[in-house]
Amino acid sequence: MNFYDAHNHLQDDRFGGRQDELLAACARAGVARMVVNGACESDWPQVLALARAHSVVLPSFGYHPWYLAERTPDWLERLKACLDQIPSAVGEIGLDRWKPGLPYEHQEEVFLAQLQLAAERNVPASIHCLQTWGRLRELLRDHPRPACGLVLHSYGGPAEMVPVFAKLGAYFSFPGYFLRARKARQREAFRRVPPDRLLVETDAPDQPLPDDRNAFPLAGADGKPLNHPVNLSAVYRGLAEFLGEPVESLAARIEANFQRLFGPVPGGSGCAATTPPPSAAPCPS
């Protein structure tokens, strides 16, 4: 079986420079492709470097709403420069009214500027949304979206909004964190996801699985637990159990969905696999 991680943050500093070791474990476990999401200007060059060194990495560049205060005046130009460098997606972008103390001001304008880039280039956008689903629906409805589709990563919205977002081109990715007992509501929403819109993610190093499913415990330098991206296969197994479906048929479906959205193989044709223009400027560090 081949496994596809629709959303992680392999570049994260909490991994302490152990990315090669993590990727070797993922390769042994059958991870065929992973979308590595940048979250702010300072980590975009790391995402680019990982993608250049490892064909399993599909890079994605975006400003996450948690880090908007860090953005420089020319952040959008820097983002375009990264997207011009290599076949890539846009993300992680989003809206967040959940995080305590996080200003909502400017979130929509930054989100829409990035959604526009994804629409213009027709590459998938990976979207984070917490406690602002109604507004996200309005913004997606009223603005250009990538024709190839978009990902609602760790979809935690209402079950009844799944068909609404699906009509707007959304795919829904399921994280291992939702296998926790208290995440029953979030799990149940995935029963409403159309079969051809389902994806799976680790969100590593975040969103750890329940301990009894975490076969690869990992800790950062500070001793805090981290989610190892090789846990992807355990997320597949947990989701297959929940849906009452053999993991083999689920994996085949996810493979088809992932490749339809993100493109089949490195360098192949597909939504995200466009050739960068010859005049591409360097991704600024």
Residues found near Zn ion in the complex (CB under 5 A)? 92, 203
Q: Which is nearer to Zn ion, 92 or 96 (CB)?
A: 92
Least distance to Zn ion, CB of residue 207, Å: 8
- Which residues are bridge partners to 170 per DSSP? 150
Phi-psi region of 203 (alpha: psi -120 to 50; beta: other; left: phi over 0): left
Least distance to Zn ion, CB of residue 92, Å: 5
Least distance to Zn ion, CB of residue 10, Å: 11
E-strand stretches of the chain = 3-8, 31-37, 57-61, 89-96, 125-130, 150-153, 170-175, 198-201, 218-219, 225-226
Least distance to Zn ion, CB of residue 246, Å: 29
Least distance to Zn ion, CB of residue 154, Å: 7
Q: Which is nearer to Zn ion, 8 or 257 (CB)?
A: 8
Q: Residue 101 contacts by C-beta under 8 Å, 6 or more apart in sequence?
A: none
Residue from 123, 142, 149, 115 nearest 257 by CA: 149
Helix (H, G, I), strand (E, B) or coil at 232: helix
Q: Which is nearer to Zn ion, 41 or 92 (CB)?
A: 92
Q: Can you say how many angstroms the Cα of residue 85 is from the centroid of all Cα atoms in its chain?
A: 19
Q: Which is nearer to Zn ion, 41 or 203 (CB)?
A: 203
Q: Which is nearer to Zn ion, 157 or 247 (CB)?
A: 157
Q: Which is nearer to Zn ion, 96 or 203 (CB)?
A: 203
Q: What does the alpha-carbon distance between residue 214 and residue 260 come to, in Å, rounded to a whole number?
A: 29
Longest CA pairwise span in the chain (Å): 51
Least distance to Zn ion, CB of residue 203, Å: 5
